Amino acid sequence: MKFCSQCGKPVDQRIPEGDNRLRYVCGHCDTIHYQNPNIVAGCLPVWQGKVLLCRRAIEPRLGYWTLPAGFMENGETLQQAACRETDEEACARVSNLELYTLFDLPHISQVHVFFRAELADLDFAVGPESLEVQLFDESAIPWSELAFPTVGHTLKYFFADRVQQHFPVRNEYLPPLRRS
């Protein structure tokens, strides 16, 4: 951030009085510009044991498979965001959403939240952010072509949990991937 969104003057980074973190602060109007994590909300849509995945038509990870998910918008609940993203990416309707996985990703200032959900019907299609939308059983999941670690973790948990028919809510921290 270089300029204040309130008055347009330059900002600098400093720890405001009574705070303990560096913030962008306007030296002219004293506005403190807080920057907070983004929330990604999505669904694990299920139909008769199969899961719905979307092949991404956009960056990041163009061409890779993902669960329908995206950034939460102001004015919506987590469930509304997850349903909206599922509709936008897969033209699919879901019901019976149950909170399932939460991933803390502080290295990219994001929190990813996935709900287990039932597909309302088989009337799904490619949305504007998807190249392809398909139901997969466990043996056909394109594991090496998954877009994000949070998607892989959610799918692995689901297939393990369905054996016991017990789906606990999981919250975990995922560190940055180490690339060689």
Query: Are residue 98 and residue 15 in the same domain, yes or no?
Result: no
Question: Does residue 164 sit within a domain?
Answer: yes
Q: Are strands 94-105 and 170-173 parallel, antiparallel or unpaired?
A: parallel
Give dist(CA 153, CA 138) in Å, integer. 13
In this predicted structure, what is the pLDDT of residue 1? 94
Helix (H/G/I), strand (E/B), else coil: 108: helix
Residues 79, 85, 91: CA angle, nearest 5 degrees: 120
What pLDDT, on a 0 to 100 scale, did the predictor assign at position 180? 60
What CA–CA distance (Å, rounded) separates 18 from 21? 10
User: What are 19-75's pLDDT values in tens digits?
Assistant: 999 999 999 999 999 999 999 999 999 999 999 999 999 999 999 999 999 999 999
Cβ pair 100, 19 in contact under 8 A: no
Same domain, 92 and 70: yes
Query: What CATH number is attached to the domain comprising 8?
Result: 2.20.70.10
Instruction: Collapse the DSSP code of 8 into the 3-class scheme (helix H, G, I; strand E, B; otherwise coil) and give the result.
Output: coil
Among 159, 47, 39, smallest CA distance to 92 is for: 47
Looking at the 3D structure of the chain, how many domains does it have?
A: 2
* Residue 178 in domain: no
> Are residues 26 and 115 located together in one domain of the fold?
no
* Domain around 98: 38-173
Q: Is residue 118 part of a domain?
A: yes
For residue 180, is it within any domain?
A: no
The C-alpha R_g of the chain, in whole angstroms, comes to 19
Q: pLDDT by residue (tens digit) across 120-132?
A: 999 999 999 999 9
Residue 179 lies in a domain: no
Helices (H), the chain: 78-90, 149-164
